[in-house]
């Protein structure tokens, strides 16, 4: 084909901004940050540490996958219930499997199904009743936390199946922990979902402009509801995977992943206003956030300074590529 043999016109005039897309910047930043860690602490730069950081990033990355879909869907889309869904899913897996390898499947099904049901309620409230996503998912967070308390009554009997630890936290092959393989599979799955399915095309369409999408025949409400269902299911799966790492459950297990999941999406260049974004951006964003966190720990700073520096860096990242267009145009 002539198209492939001839250089495309205009590539030479492409601006730097187009070459360095936000996901790529985030990825370069992650690599630079890692080696910057060596300056602070020479023991920071080695393979074991690199694997450890990617492993920590994997949990955030899997949990942030659903958040990516919700934010791309636009309409002020945001899912504040992911933290509590992660906790619920981990507790369900812990309780239902009872630490038996043979019962892992039950835990997995329960974790994903519970997340899906919570996502369905979120989606119906947002798409049909037109409750703002922030409010709806915030309200659901309370309901899920209440459900956890009512289910557990203060103590959860159960255990983590040993096979989960082996498959997720421990080296699977070449010294790489299984969660990396899982994350890679999630990444491929998300890429296929976003780029190769009708749902993916429709998702971007409703993110850009819901009215236009409706006129061009996109079932806007169905796609929106489905997006929150996916988000819940992915958060549920994230909770299942997280249990293999944490080995134990407590009421705040997933809370620390809620806002980082949003930050990872934004740092990865997905627009909070919707319609534009990618999962590999979110993966890079998760790496950057985890690296910054590990770096601050490695630097041996007090928690107070860690918090302040993290806040400043996050603000700087948002300033670099989270800016909205000017009113004066």
Partner 1 sequence: MNSVKLQRFLSHNTYVVSLVLLVVVLAINYAFQNNVLELRIINNNLRTLLPLIILAVGQSIVVIGGGVDLSVGTMVSMINTLLVTWITPESSAGDVALALLLACGAGVLAGAVNGIAVAYLRLQPIVTTYATSFIFSGIALWVLPRPGGSLPTDMVRFYRSLPFEIPLGFYVIVILIVFWRLLRNTRYAQYLYAVGSSSEAAYSTGVPVTLVRVSTYVWSGLFAALAAIALTLSTGSGQANLGDAMTLNSVVAVVLGGTGLSGGQGGIAGAIIGVLTLGVIRNIIFFAEVPTWFQTLINALVILAALAAPALGRFIRQAVRR
Q: Of 125, 200, 238, 268, which one interacts with partner 1 (CB under 8 A)? A: 125
**Between β-strands 176-177 and 171-173, what pairing exists: parallel, antiparallel or unpaired?**
antiparallel
Question: DSSP letters along 139-202, please?
Answer: HHHHHHHHHHHHHHTT-------HHHHHHHTSEEETTEEHHHHHHHHHHHHHHHHHHHSHHHHH
- Quickly count: other Cβ atoms within 10 Å of residue 70's Cβ: 33
Is 131 an interacting residue with respect to partner 1 (CB under 8 A)? yes
Is 154 an interacting residue with respect to partner 1 (CB under 8 A)? yes
Is 299 an interacting residue with respect to partner 1 (CB under 8 A)? no
Each residue 67-86 as x (binds partner 1 by CB under 8 A) or -, in order, gives: ---------x-x--------
Is 155 an interacting residue with respect to partner 1 (CB under 8 A)? no
Is 134 an interacting residue with respect to partner 1 (CB under 8 A)? yes
* Distance in angstroms (rounded) separating the CA atoms of residues 293 and 15: 32
* 8 Å CB contact between 242 and 258: no
CB of residue 192 to partner 1, shortest distance in Å: 28
Q: Of 91, 218, 289, 314, which one interacts with partner 1 (CB under 8 A)? A: 314
* Distance in angstroms (rounded) separating the CA atoms of residues 201 and 207: 10
* Distance in angstroms (rounded) separating the CA atoms of residues 20 and 26: 10
Is 103 an interacting residue with respect to partner 1 (CB under 8 A)? no
Question: Judged by CB, which is closer to partner 1: 135, or 184?
Answer: 135
Is 117 an interacting residue with respect to partner 1 (CB under 8 A)? no
Question: DSSP letters along 26-79, please?
Answer: HHHHHHHHHHHHHHH-GGGSSHHHHHHHHHHHHHHHHHHHHHHHHHHT-TT---
Is 48 an interacting residue with respect to partner 1 (CB under 8 A)? no
**Torsions phi, psi of 273, nearest 5?**
-80, -5
Question: Judged by CB, which is closer to partner 1: 20, or 259?
Answer: 259
CB of residue 195 to partner 1, shortest distance in Å: 25
Is 98 an interacting residue with respect to partner 1 (CB under 8 A)? no
- What separation in angstroms does the CA of 145 have from each of 6, 54, 252? 58, 29, 9
* Distance in angstroms (rounded) separating the CA atoms of residues 37 and 45: 7
CB of residue 57 to partner 1, shortest distance in Å: 19
Count of residues that bind partner 1 according to CB under 8 A: 53
Q: Of 212, 259, 297, 300, which one interacts with partner 1 (CB under 8 A)? A: 259
Is 328 an interacting residue with respect to partner 1 (CB under 8 A)? yes
Question: Judged by CB, which is closer to partner 1: 38, or 322?
Answer: 322
CB of residue 37 to partner 1, shortest distance in Å: 20
- What separation in angstroms does the CA of 120 have from each of 114, 124, 224, 237, 261? 10, 6, 10, 15, 20
* Distance in angstroms (rounded) separating the CA atoms of residues 228 and 77: 9
Question: Judged by CB, which is closer to partner 1: 137, or 160?
Answer: 137
CB of residue 146 to partner 1, shortest distance in Å: 3
Is 309 an interacting residue with respect to partner 1 (CB under 8 A)? yes
| Positions in the binding site for partner 1 (CB under 8 A) | 76, 78, 125, 128-132, 134-136, 138-143, 145-147, 149-150, 152-154, 259, 262-263, 266, 272-273, 302-312, 314-315, 318-319, 322-328
């Amino acid at each position: 084909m002539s198209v492939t043999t001839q250089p495309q016109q205009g590539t030479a005039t492409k601006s730097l901004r187009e070459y360095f897309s936000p996901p790529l910047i985030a990825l370069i930043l992650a690599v630079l940050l890692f080696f910057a860690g060596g300056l602070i602490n020479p023991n920071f730069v080695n393979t074991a540490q690199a694997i450890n950081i990617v492993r920590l990033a994997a949990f955030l990355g899997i949990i942030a996958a659903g958040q990516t879909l919700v934010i791309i869907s636009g309409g002020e889309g945001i899912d504040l219930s992911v933290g509590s869904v992660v906790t619920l899913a981990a507790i369900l897996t812990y309780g239902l499997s009872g630490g038996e390898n043979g019962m892992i499947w039950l835990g997995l099904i329960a974790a994903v199904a519970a997340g899906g049901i919570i996502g369905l309620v979120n989606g119906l409230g947002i798409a049909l009743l037109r409750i703002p996503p922030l409010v709806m998912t915030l309200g659901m967070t309370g309901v899920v936390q209440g459900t956890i308390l009512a289910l557990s009554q203060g103590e959860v009997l159960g255990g983590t199946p040993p096979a989960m630890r082996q498959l997720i936290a421990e080296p699977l092959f070449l010294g790489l922990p299984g969660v990396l393989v899982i994350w890679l599979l999630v990444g491929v799955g998300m890429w296929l979902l976003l780029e190769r399915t009708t749902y993916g095309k429709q998702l971007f369409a409703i993110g850009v402009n819901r009215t236009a999408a409706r006129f061009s025949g996109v079932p806007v409400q169905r796609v929106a509801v489905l997006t929150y269902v996916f988000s819940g299911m992915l958060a549920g799966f994230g909770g299942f995977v997280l249990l293999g790492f944490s080995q134990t459950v407590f009421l705040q297990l997933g809370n620390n992943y809620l806002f980082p999941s949003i930050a990872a999406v934004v740092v990865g260049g997905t627009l909070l206003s919707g319609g534009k974004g990618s999962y590999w951006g979110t993966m890079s964003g998760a790496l950057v956030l985890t690296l910054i966190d590990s770096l601050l720990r490695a630097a041996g700073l007090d928690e107070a300074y860690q918090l302040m520096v993290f806040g400043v860096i996050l603000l700087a990242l948002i300033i670099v590529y989270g800016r909205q267009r000017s009113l004066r145009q």
